[in-house]
Amino acid sequence: SLENNKLENINALVKFLLTHPNIKIIWINNNQYPEDLDVYEILSQLKSIEMINDKFTEHVSEKTAQYLDDSLFHMFNFKNMISNNDMS
């Protein structure tokens, strides 16, 4: 996650991501990019990036979507299990 890291230079981030193609999902909320810069639009052009923050790119693979779907399902069930066993 690169959230809240005071990133300002999108070019440096793109260069990093191009040299690390195994990174598929990236969180970049709350950085200091210029307001008129569409960071999602820029990063979603990279074929290796499948998800930015909480939004899929057009490059999302079925494997990634299934993994995230399963993970969210298990997290939701775990939270329900805890709340159902709450003794308070």
Cα angle: 34, vertex 37, 59; to 5 degrees: 135
What does the radius of gyration of the chain's CA atoms come to, in whole angstroms?
16
pLDDT digits (tens, 9 = 90+) for 17-69: 999 999 999 988 888 888 778 888 999 999 999 999 888 899 988 888 887 77
Name every residue whose Cβ is closer than 8 Å to that of residue 28 and which is 6 or more positions away in sequence.
Answer: 2, 3, 7, 13, 39, 43, 52, 53
For residue 6, the tally of other CB atoms under 10 A from its CB is: 8
Model pTM above 0.75 = no
Confidence of residue 81 (pLDDT cuts 50, 70, 90): very low
